[in-house]
Chains A and B, each alone.
Chain A
Amino acid sequence: MKTLSHLIILVLCATGFASSQIHPVIVDNCTKCHGGVKQKGGLDLRTIAAALEGGETDTALIPGDPEASPLYQVVQVDSDPHMPPKKQLPAEEIKTLKTWITNLKITPAKKLVLPDHREQPTTVINQLIRTKWQAEKIAPARRSSDTTFVRRIYLDLLGRIPRLPEINSFLADQNPKKRSLLVDQLTTTDDHADHLAQVFNIVFLDRAHLRKRSHSNRKLWLDYLNWAFKTNRPWDQIGRDLVLARPASDQERGASWFIHDQRDDHSQIATRVSRTLLGKQVQCAQCHDHPVAPEIEQRHYWGLVAFFNRSLNVKTPEGPLVAERASGGYDKFANLEGKADQSQLILYSNKIITETGGKKTNDSAELYSVSPPKQWFRKLKKDEKLKKDLTNLPVPKFSRREAFAQSFTSDNPDFSRAIVNRLWALMFGRGLVHPVDLMDSAHPSSHPELLAWLARDFSNHQFDLRRLIRQIAKSSSYQLDSRPAPSAGQPPLDSFFARALDKPLSAETFTRSLRVALGHENPNDETLRNHFVTILPDLFAENFSPSVQQTMFLTNAPFFDKIISEAPLLSRLQKIERPQTLIHEIFQSVLSREPEPSELERSLSFIKPKNKSSIQQFVWALLTSAEFRFTN
């Protein structure tokens, strides 16, 4: 019922625990026997909820009262029983424990209080970001200028810097709503769909895959992404296209490439799905439970694999597709201690999907609604491989992939959270959970209410990507300047979003912007882009870590030198007589703005009109400056 003015969501206070000072002490000293691998005395200490539930002898914790908390009692010197059994925690750690228990006022279930669902995302973003500034007494940056805004919005939405006419028409526009109008307009362009397609191409398939596989399949895949973003296909549909991989139309066919490209490596498929669609890195759980995030266990990893381990690549007249068997895929998995377990169809939410049949069920035509050919069922001779040329794609009556695809909109809250977080990271330079593929209990969100609200809003509005991107771009938080508010010490942490962050351009964006800056009509150049992919491979990186190899390239590579010397911009600049005009022209072309007085002065002492070399070096200096390197 939507009559409540606030929707209350029950959330266990994992966030506070994971970021507290006591967390590492408990992880290091207690979780070996009271954690993922075993729970001695029935006690699990990986979460507060579990600690409160206690073990055989009732609760381990009395919030606010350390003296009465068994957890605190047992670590004292000479206590009986004594924990850890053969160690004594140093006095400093016992003190930290005492302080933490004393201040532990929260009740077992912490309720996230969310704004009304009827609000606009833009409003909620502004409100909740501001709330945190106020709580921490942080002064935000001022609003960005139009000059700053136009460069930023073109980079973020189209993946290139704006051209001079585009800048000028925006600056000249008197309409007070011009920013919102520009956002709305840019998000309908083909270039915007193109940009998103490129970003998600890398997200889904990394750069390593792009180099190796066949050209025609890659094109089909890119065509799919392009079409999906151009038509603003709902994200749950896209997720479904990717994991179900049973195209209902020609345009959807390219989506099958996501699974197909993993070449029947089911473990790879599972880790990729988890990382790109659910925001969780899970490969460390192949051999044992996640060491720090207790909600990710080995069985989740193998459960995820189980959803995909009936898949196999096949060839059909329509091209390569991914079939699915109706039986099999009942793997056991062993941990390092040799203990083996049976895998199940389990989601991160711990919901288990039941299915009929079992290990002993043999594959047969009656398990399919669209049957595979007879040779599918035949027992193969030695050395014989299954013929994977099929006339049509068989469809099992119960499909594990279908069950998984359906979970995106029902039992898989991570699905919405992951894409919301990623779009936030794309626009703001940093996710609400950072990094974007570590959305587990060990990486709490900087703004849990905001993330929860946006995820809920996203799923309530047909998983509409374009709407969310627009709403973000129209928020005042997004439109802040990148110069922090004046203060004595360091600027506030990035996670406060108190100013626009520097976002390093991806190889794609860098190359397109390079070409626009250098005066080329067409910003796209595949060869150039591929070259820069090896130099600047990062996208959604956890940290910005430039390497000296990159700067050596920009300084000494003949390839880069040639790009500048042969650029249309250079021949245009050589015709300019006046130094000031020359300098203005270069600044506008490369940095999309006018030079400041001190910059003009310095520039005048360097550049000589009609001198090709000094012009070229000047252009080089701006292209390799920090300002061009980032969206800001």
Chain B
Amino acid sequence: MNSPSLKKAKEIKLPSHVLDLTFGPEKKLYAACLDGGIYEVSTTFKLLGDNFKEIARHDNYASGINWSASQKTLISASYDGDLKWIDPKEKKESKTVKAHNFWSWQSRLSPDGELIATTTGQYLCGGYKYEPAPETEPSVKIFDVATGELRYSFPHTPPVQSVAFSNDGKLLAAGNLMGEVILWDLTQDGKEIARIKTPDFTGWGIIKGHYYTGGVFNLHFAPDDQSLYLVGMGSTTDPAAGNGKQLWQKFSWKNGPKKEGTAADGEIGQGLMETLAFHPSGKFFLMAGRLFKGNWNAALFDHESGSKLHQQNIGFRISTSAFTPDGGRLYLGGGANQGRPNEKKKWGRIVIYDVSS
């Protein structure tokens, strides 16, 4: 197989850091930004005016935006704890459901578009070493997209920072600060079927503060749903310096939790990785985040061997990513420096890369 590579095609500026992005109807693009705005984004060149239009607004960071083709609605999630249903044609909110008392860290739509999962949880001091305290509300919830009703409610140890549906829609996985991932089987009424625990994404700082930082920032099932990919920052005794490895790990769970693979030391630098996305062909996947030390903050890895095929220094921090369904393009969302408050700088970014493989 030829080695895939990326070539930058376009860059778009948004009002603030892009935390999530999704493709919507008619190949439209939507972004959830730190200022709370949900934006419809145009990728065509504009001589005058902005490339974005606000279609909904949250009270706090907008952490998720999802498109359900089956229910023909966008659903956004936010640190304000709300889920908002948004009509893409009317460009207006149609419904708001209060999902959590605390933030929605991450939200994901089931592959059939009928369920929306969202995770929450505040890290509070629960022990002498600042182990997390138990949850005060269910950390993982799944709502019905059509009706907005709560369908499932799962316990976990907060903060639960990532969530993913399996590709066949049968399983849900959620990962937290301590590197604990729980899997539930939705065909068995949400029965818990496995627990994976890895210490490799969580650091207990001995240098600055005696608490835990890091955790699983993103989760993805492999295309064949036999394994799960976890993404974050490698464990370090000084997580406050951000110097953990740019890390992914692959786990299977069917015969007990087992680590199947990990990013190789010689291929990775240091920095928090926030996003992972599989190329539609299933042959390789992307991991991206921040460059602290090394040469890249976005890289493509071979699915089978796990070795790095291509690396790219995007130039700013990446929080979210998506390949187009035909696999020809990769969209990366993130942001540059915020800058001083009176500059009114557009510091959010979406960059589009052509994928050749």
Contact = CB atoms under 8 A, between A and B. Distances in A.
A332 interface: yes
A284 interface: no
Interface in A359-385: 359, 379-385
B305 A340 contact: no
Contacts of B262: 383
A382 B261 contact: yes
Given A332-B295, A383-B261, A383-B264, 7 more contacts: A331-B269, A331-B294, A337-B337, A340-B313, A379-B307, A380-B307, A382-B261
B306 interface: yes
Contacts of B307: 379-382
Contacts of A383: 261-262, 264, 306
Nearest to B317: A338
A338 B337 contact: yes
A330 interface: yes
Nearest to B250: A382
Contacts of B265: 385
Ranked nearest first, the 10 interchain pairs of A and B with the lowest CB-CB distance are A382-B306, A382-B305, A382-B261, A332-B295, A338-B337, A382-B307, A337-B337, A334-B291, A334-B292, A333-B293
Interface in B260-318: 261-262, 264-266, 269, 291-295, 305-307, 313, 315-317
A381 B317 contact: no
Contact of A338 (B261, B293, B336): B336
A177 B261 CA distance: 74
29 contacts: A330-B295, A331-B269, A331-B294, A331-B295, A332-B291, A332-B293, A332-B294, A332-B295, A332-B313, A333-B293, A334-B291, A334-B292, A337-B337, A338-B336, A338-B337, A340-B291, A340-B313, A340-B315, A359-B295, A380-B264, A380-B266, A380-B307, A381-B307, A382-B264, A382-B307, A383-B261, A383-B306, A384-B264, A386-B266
Contacts of A379: 307
Contacts of B317: 338
Interface string A76-88: 0000000000000
Interface residues of A, number: 18
A313 to B, nearest CB: 13
Contacts of A334: 291-293
B297 to A, nearest CB: 9
B110 to A, nearest CB: 31
Contacts of B337: 337-338
Contacts of A333: 293
| Prevailing SS type, chain B contact patch | loop
Nearest to B315: A340
Contacts of A331: 269, 293-295
Interface in A307-324: none
A330 B293 CA distance: 11
A113 B266 CA distance: 52
Interface in A373-406: 379-386
Contacts of A380: 264, 266, 307
Nearest to A305: B293
Contacts of B269: 331
A596 B264 CA distance: 71
Contacts of B295: 330-332, 359
Interface residues of B, number: 21
A567 to B, nearest CB: 40
Nearest to B336: A338
A413 to B, nearest CB: 30
A233 B313 CA distance: 47
A162 B278 CA distance: 74
A386 B241 CA distance: 28
Contacts of A330: 295
Interface string A325-348: 000001111100110100000000
Interface in A222-273: none
Interface string B32-57: 00000000000000000000000000
A337 B317 CA distance: 11
B192 to A, nearest CB: 29
A386 to B, nearest CB: 8
Interface in B313-340: 313, 315-317, 336-337
A380 B265 CA distance: 11
Interface string A167-207: 00000000000000000000000000000000000000000
A302 B306 CA distance: 29
A505 B265 CA distance: 44
Nearest to A385: B265
Nearest to B304: A382
A338 B264 contact: no
A381 B316 CA distance: 30
Nearest to A359: B295
Contacts of B266: 380, 386
Contacts of A382: 261, 264, 305-307
B312 to A, nearest CB: 12
Contacts of B313: 332, 340
A379 B293 CA distance: 23
Which of A331, A333, A382, A384 has most B Cβ within 10 Å?
A: A382
Nearest to A286: B241
B291 to A, nearest CB: 6
Contact of A381 (B292, B294, B305, B315): B305
A133 B306 CA distance: 70
A330 B28 CA distance: 40
Contacts of A386: 266
Given A380-B266, A382-B261, A383-B264, A338 B305 contact: no
Contacts of B264: 380, 382-384
A386 B336 CA distance: 37
Nearest to A330: B295
Contacts of A337: 337
A380 B315 CA distance: 28
Nearest to A342: B295
B53 to A, nearest CB: 28
Contacts of A332: 291, 293-295, 313
B32 to A, nearest CB: 21
A153 B295 CA distance: 54
A38 to B, nearest CB: 14
Nearest to A264: B265
Interface in B224-279: 241, 261-262, 264-266, 269
B105 to A, nearest CB: 23
Contacts of A359: 295
A331 B294 CA distance: 5
A384 B262 CA distance: 10
Contacts of B261: 382-383
B95 to A, nearest CB: 38
B356 to A, nearest CB: 19
A331 to B, nearest CB: 6
A287 B337 CA distance: 16
Which of B261, B266, B317 has most A Cβ within 10 Å?
A: B266
Which of B264, B306, B316 has most A Cβ within 10 Å?
A: B264
Nearest to B267: A380
